Amino acid sequence: MKIAFIGLGNMGAPMAANLAAAGHEVVGHDMADISIDGVTIAASGAQAVSGAEAVITMLPNGKILRTVANEVIPAMQGGAVLIDCSTVDVDSARAVAQQATDAGLLSVDAPVSGGIGGAAAGTLTFMAGGSDTAFAKAAPLFEIMGQKAVHCGEAGAGQAAKICNNMILGVTMIATCEAFALADKLGLDRQKMFDVVSTSSGYSWAMNAYCPAPGVGPESPSDNDYTPGFAAELMLKDLRLSQQAAESADADTPMGKIATKLYEQFVEHENGLGRDFSAMLPRFEKRGRS
């Protein structure tokens, strides 16, 4: 299959490389000067998508996605599928999907989970929104780039699933860090805390798989001075998207709103920028009750 890949950053580059390694003809485009084994680099997005059966985008935000869509959709061949793997707002995902449909194209919004490591290893999880036909055409590519793809519903459903999942993650990570900081001040050993909570009703992915306390539980970014596996600023981006969606849908999300404000404070006014999102724990360690 001839595939165009627009957006060859930390996530897009290894995803494109995996498609090329699997034998597909991949033509890429990025604003930065980049070279990827097996991928031909085009001078523009329109040039990259010419003759492609599938066009994959991995872009920073909805505004850029809309701009790229305006460039590449008119240049795509009829019946091709546009697969957007960016994490963007639901409204932008649906607008681009409608634009693609109006142009006689298939489209899938398919944000990912798994980070840079998952992109390199081909073990990403895709949360996909779009028609059954569009998902079926994209599915073989998901199998190369990831280990699981869930068809969540119609256009925008993939983005909805991603931001709802990450709102839960942001809230539970804050609660986990708060609980460790409280346990410290109550004189409870962190390992004992983990041994109880990880097998009790406080069980969560944040505690059991990504424990924010160094030296406790499976290895995680906390064991590497909170070097990001998932950066705090990316969590802030996803939480902001969740609140934008909640506003649009008139949904009451008080915990999501509080989590957004806390990560905003952490990233923009404290030392959270460039640290893992679990670095909330040392933040809470230093604070008293306010």
Summarize pLDDT for 163-217 with one digit per residue, the tens: 999 999 999 999 999 999 999 999 999 999 999 999 999 999 999 999 999 999 9
Provide the pLDDT for residue 115. Answer: 85
| pLDDT tens digits along 135-172 | 999 999 999 999 999 999 999 999 999 999 999 999 99
Provide the pLDDT for residue 197. Answer: 98
Pick the CATH number of 160-286 from 1.10.1040.10, 3.40.640.10, 3.30.420.40, 1.20.140.10: 1.10.1040.10
Provide the pLDDT for residue 116. Answer: 87
Q: What is the mean pLDDT of the chain?
A: 96
Mean predicted confidence (pLDDT) in 33-37: 93
Provide the pLDDT for residue 117. Answer: 87
DSSP characters over the chain: -EEEEE--STTHHHHHHHHHHTT-EEEEE-SS----TTEEEPSSHHHHHTT-SEEEE--SSHHHHHHHHHHHGGGSPTT-EEEE-S---HHHHHHHHHHHHHTT-EEEE--EESHHHHHHHT-EEEEEEE-HHHHHHHHHHHHHHEEEEEEEESTTHHHHHHHHHHHHHHHHHHHHHHHHHHHHHTT--HHHHHHHHTTSTT--HHHHTS-SSTTSSS--GGGGTT--SSBHHHHHHHHHHHHHHHHHHT---HHHHHHHHHHHHHHHHSS-TTSBGGGHHHHHHT----
Provide the pLDDT for residue 203. Answer: 96
- CATH says 2-154 is which class? alpha beta
Q: Where exactly are the structural domains of the chain?
A: 2-154, 160-286
Mean predicted confidence (pLDDT) in 34-52: 96
| pLDDT tens digits along 108-135 | 999 999 888 899 999 999 999 999 999 9
| pLDDT tens digits along 57-114 | 999 999 999 999 999 999 999 999 999 999 999 999 999 999 999 999 999 999 999 8
| pLDDT tens digits along 48-68 | 999 999 999 999 999 999 999
Active-site residue list:
162
Do 2-154 and 160-286 have matching folds?
A: no
Provide the pLDDT for residue 289. Answer: 87
